[in-house]
Amino acid sequence: MKRTALPLSLLCLAAALTACSADGEDNKETADKPKASASVSASQAKQAGPAERVAQLLVTKAEAGDFSIAEPAANDALAKSQSALTSDKADCAPLSYALNELPIGTSEASLVRVTNSAKGMVTYITLATYATGKAEAAMQGLTTAASTCRGGFTAKSSAGATTYDSVTVETAPADGDESLATATTFTYRGATQTLRTQTFRFGDTIANYFTLNSNAFLQGGPGNAEIPAALVKAQNAKLA
């Protein structure tokens, strides 16, 4: 089996997520992208350009309640772009992106934030905005991947490879224009880790939530990720 590259740096987990995501890390936003506003509605954001719109719609710390909202560390993901991440099965590429902090489909702009909970659940929010019709196409690609990649697949980059053993479609919360939920397993140090995603389309915007159980990685045992419903509710409220 090829070397497995963890979705999240164990060093960062041991040192505490928020500390690793502080100043000094590579910023996934370009310098000219504005910061998120705490009080902009989805209708107001539609009047802005793609980069500004997605920044305005991103949930803030004040809106997230008990959840931290931070930029992910530079080495969190298996790849930093879609072009740098490949799959051994073409149809599985969208799911590879959803499990590695990347927007699915062809987006106009995207941002990623990460949060952790007291239960050790680390959740990445990838928020992306699309040209007309592209968000629907992105969701269709992800739906196809979740259905056809049930037997597993391998995602690869220059950093390494992760072999996912199975994919299960789960019941997604009824929110937005479309929604999809998955549970994906892979083996790390002999233990099965179950990762989860929930993906929602609101018009031309897609929010993808990807959660892993950091405690399981640190303890070397099996892990079962649970996406925090309160966090999803807070972010989706800005998109409705």
Assess if residue 36 is contained within a domain: no
Q: How many CB atoms lie within 10 A of CB 170?
A: 12
SS3 182: strand
> For position 172, what pLDDT does the model report?
95
> For position 153, what pLDDT does the model report?
97
Residue 31 has pLDDT above 50, yes or no: no
**How does pLDDT run across 80-124, given as a tens digit for each residue?**
999 999 999 999 999 999 999 999 999 999 999 999 887 899 999
**How does pLDDT run across 192-204, given as a tens digit for each residue?**
999 999 999 999 9
First to last CA, the chain: 43
Please provide residue 180's backbone torsions phi and psi, each rounded to the nearest 5 degrees. Answer: -150, 140
Q: Please check whether residue 91 is in contact with residue 144, taking contact to mean a CB–CB distance below 8 angstroms.
A: yes
Residue 87 to residue 166: CA distance in whole angstroms: 14
Contacts of 236 (CB under 8 A, 6+ apart): 175, 176, 200, 202, 207
Model confidence band, residue 170 (pLDDT cutoffs 50, 70, 90) = very high
CATH, residue 89: 3.40.1000.70
Tally the domains of the chain: 1
User: Pairing mode, if any, of strands 191-202 and 223-224?
Assistant: parallel
Find the angle CA(100)-CA(105)-CA(110) to the nearest 5 degrees.
65
Q: Sign of the CA dihedral 230, 201, 127, 75?
A: positive
> For position 22, what pLDDT does the model report?
31
The residue with tokens 């051994």 is 88
Residue 56 to residue 118: CA distance in whole angstroms: 27
Which whole number is the average pLDDT over 47-54? 88
> For position 42, what pLDDT does the model report?
60
Q: H/E element holding 54?
A: helix 50-57
Query: Domain of 98?
Result: 10-14+54-239
Residue 11 has pLDDT above 60, yes or no: no
Model confidence band, residue 4 (pLDDT cutoffs 50, 70, 90) = low
Model confidence band, residue 64 (pLDDT cutoffs 50, 70, 90) = very high
Q: What share of the chain is helix, strand, coil (3-state, %, to 5)?
A: 30, 30, 40
**Out of 62-71, 162-171, 204-213, which region has the weakest mean confidence (pLDDT)?**
62-71
Assess if residue 40 is contained within a domain: no
What is the rounded average pLDDT for all residues in the chain? 84
Percent of the chain with pLDDT strictly greater than 70: 80
Q: H/E element holding 86?
A: strand 86-87
Residue 27 has pLDDT above 60, yes or no: no
Assess if residue 203 is contained within a domain: yes
> For position 159, what pLDDT does the model report?
87
Residue 38 has pLDDT above 80, yes or no: no
Global pTM value:
0.84
SS3 155: strand
Q: And the tokens for 183?
A: 């549970």
